Structure 1
């Protein structure tokens, strides 16, 4: 009997192994690479060898050899950021879990020998978990869904990093541009303050006008110091996100933000695009499907929590007689007297319902986020364009006219300086407006593809959103 049982266990194990998952050559990175290429047109790399690290270093040095663009900064971060590499390590661990869940349980072989009263008894047992073998296909399918979710989470971490780098790049370049503008303004204000001081000494300028010029110089000096601090912090954040240190910190940034695009994007179907493409929604859909399968499995096994079947072979050696062999089997299972599985079924059901309601809420929020992101994108484009087309050209005309009138002695120096201060304010407003537009542009891409800040509570099946309400149907 025990030999037949052992053969049966081996046969079941062989059947289970026929559907087992195996480790992939890239630890599931192909899906991440494809999503990154299709969504943001960038390369990713999972560095697991010295050769891979050397290739990444060479690519990073090449990108750093010239003035950084936003796309180059994103590419450096995707290759060089160690936090992203840790996210890819989590994907590799998820694949290990998938392989583990797809393997049948190992049978247990035990051998015991008892000696006493001049006799020997040898007992052998082969024990197998029949329930684990029976549910192996279901558990393997659930594990495969969760691995697919892990791939999407790695892709989401990639998009999140890319979005953060774009925002940091915009702030760093805008900060550098503001520092340049205020440096020139400080030089002009210093010359004006010195002139006012000399005029005051000759009695040609009263104390009120002297104080106005001095305070403008003092305020500009303070603004420049503040701008330098902000620009330095923005540059450091960009360096952190790109994973740079030591020699890599001397990267070059352009002196100013790029001009506005000629026309804004028209996205009439942005809500549908967001629901279809958001990776956090895709993750939640997979998690909800896995919870549904787990609920079905829980209901199917609610009355059997332990089922072990053992094949027994016992050989007894009696010194006064011939040896004899005994065969049989031993079956152990729990009797559901106090807990019939209702608790586990209720827990699984409520976990599924919780996740369903969370995903429906998130789907509604995603639509709202997409609409709001597009409104912000269009409004910031219009505001920045207004500065570019109207305010700055008009300020230039006013400055030129004031200079002509000053040359013909129609206005004094202080009227010209007042206009210079107003033009400085307009230029600062224009830089801020362009910065807001490019930040809104990055936020718009995030609203459609994902990659924003993590949802409160983390990316777990009960806190991350899922499908659109129309797809959820009911439960």
Structure 2
């Protein structure tokens, strides 16, 4: 009987192995690369060897040799950020779960010998979990859905990093542009304050006007210090996201934000695009699919959660009697007296409903986020464009006219300086508006593709307890 049962278990195991998963050469990274390439058109790399690390280092050094653009900063981060590499390690671990859940349970062999008073008994058993073998295809199918979710989570981590880098890049470059502007303003304010002091000593300027010039210089100095601190902090955050340290910290950034595009994007179907492409929604959909399969499996096994079949071969030797041999089998299963599976079924149903409601909520929020992101994008483009096309050209005309009047002695130096302060305020407003536009463009890409902060795009991972009963005892 033992030999017959062993053969049966081996046949069942072979049938299970024919459909089980195997480790992929790239730990599932091909799907991640394809998903992210569609959204941000950048390369990703899972560094798993010394040769791979050297290739990444060469690419990073090449990109750092030039003044960084936003795209170059994103590419460096995708290659060099160790937190992202840890996310890819989690994907590789998820693949091990897939392979483990796709393998049939191992049979258990046991041999025991009992001897005493000249008699001895030898017993051999082989035990197999029949229920686990029978449900293997269902569990393997659920495991594949879980692994696909893990691939999507790795892609989402990639998009989140890219979005964070773009935002940090524009903040850092905008801070640099503000520092350049305020440095020039401070130099002018310093010269004006010194002139006011000299004129005050000769009595050519009253104490009030003298104080106004001095306080403008003091305020500009404080603003410049604040801007420099902001630029330093923004640069450090960008360096962290790019995974740079030591010799890589001397990277060069532009002193000005990129020019505005001539026309804003027209996205009439942005809600449809967001619902179709958002990776967090795809994760939630797969979660719902996996839970539906787990619910079906729970329904099928609600009355039986343990079914072990054991083949027994027992030999007894007694010097006072004829040796004899016994063969048979032993079946173990739970009797559903107190729990007929209602608890597990109810848990499975409620878990599915929970995931369904979260998916619906997420879809509604995604549509709203996409609409709002596009409105902000258009609004910031309009404001920044208004500064570039209207306010700054008019300020330039005013400055030129004031200089002509000053040259012809129609206005004094202080009227010219007052206009210079107003022009400085307009220039600061223009820089701030342009930076807000580029940040809004980054948020628009995030709204369509996903990749926002975890708090904003949480995939609300649902407990997977409903998938466990088929294999548990």
With the shorter chain as reference, the TM-score category is: over 0.9
- Distance between the aligned counterparts of 2:182 and 2:111, measured in 1? 85
Tell me, yes or no, if structure 1 residue 312 matches structure 2 residue 312: yes
How many residues are paired up?
A: 463
Contact 1:288–1:461, Cα closer than 8 Å, also in 2: no
CA apart distance, 1:179: 0.2
- Distance between the aligned counterparts of 2:322 and 2:295, measured in 1? 56
Q: Where does 1:70-469 land on structure 2 (aligned, <5 Å)?
A: 70-455=70-455, 458-462=458-462
Q: Which moved further from structure 2: 452-461 or 373-382?
A: 452-461
Contact 1:111–1:122, Cα closer than 8 Å, also in 2: yes
- Distance between the aligned counterparts of 2:235 and 2:322, measured in 1? 89
- Distance between the aligned counterparts of 1:173 and 1:374, measured in 2? 23
Alignment RMSD: 1.0
- Distance between the aligned counterparts of 1:296 and 1:13, measured in 2? 23
Q: Counterpart of 2:468?
A: none
CA apart distance, 1:457: 9.6
CA apart distance, 1:460: 3.8
- Distance between the aligned counterparts of 2:456 and 2:183, measured in 1? 42
Contact 1:170–1:257, Cα closer than 8 Å, also in 2: yes
SS in 2 for 1:391: helix
CA apart distance, 1:196: 0.2
CA apart distance, 1:458: 4.6
CA apart distance, 1:338: 0.7
CA apart distance, 1:22: 0.1
- Distance between the aligned counterparts of 2:219 and 2:445, measured in 1? 38
SS in 2 for 1:264: coil
- Distance between the aligned counterparts of 2:136 and 2:254, measured in 1? 58
- Distance between the aligned counterparts of 2:455 and 2:293, measured in 1? 25
- Distance between the aligned counterparts of 1:188 and 1:11, measured in 2? 89
- Distance between the aligned counterparts of 1:215 and 1:174, measured in 2? 26
- Distance between the aligned counterparts of 2:256 and 2:452, measured in 1? 26
Contact 1:87–1:154, Cα closer than 8 Å, also in 2: yes
Q: Counterpart of 2:41?
A: 41
Segments of 5+ residues of structure 2 without an aligned counterpart are 464-473
- Distance between the aligned counterparts of 1:462 and 1:214, measured in 2? 62
- Distance between the aligned counterparts of 2:344 and 2:62, measured in 1? 57
Contact 2:450–2:457, Cα closer than 8 Å, also in 1: no
Q: Which moved further from structure 2: 157-166 or 316-325?
A: 316-325
Q: Counterpart of 2:470?
A: none
CA apart distance, 1:461: 3.2
CA apart distance, 1:76: 0.0
Q: Counterpart of 1:467?
A: none
Segments of 5+ residues of structure 1 without an aligned counterpart are 464-475
1:363-394 CA-partner distances (Å, limit 9, x unpaired): 00100000000000000000000000000000
SS in 1 for 2:444: helix
Contact 1:358–1:462, Cα closer than 8 Å, also in 2: no
1:26-82 CA-partner distances (Å, limit 9, x unpaired): 000000111121211100000011000000000000000010000000000000000
1:411-448 CA-partner distances (Å, limit 9, x unpaired): 00000000000000000000000000000000000000
- Distance between the aligned counterparts of 2:295 and 2:59, measured in 1? 48
- Distance between the aligned counterparts of 1:72 and 1:393, measured in 2? 32
CA apart distance, 1:319: 1.8
TM-score for both structures, normalised by structure 2: 0.97
Contact 2:74–2:166, Cα closer than 8 Å, also in 1: yes
- Distance between the aligned counterparts of 1:177 and 1:390, measured in 2? 20
Identify if the C-alpha distance between structure 1 residues 217 and 425 changes in structure 2 by more than 3 Å, giving closer, same or farther: same
- Distance between the aligned counterparts of 2:64 and 2:138, measured in 1? 50
- Distance between the aligned counterparts of 1:354 and 1:27, measured in 2? 31
SS in 1 for 2:128: strand
CA apart distance, 1:306: 1.1
TM-score for both structures, normalised by structure 1: 0.96
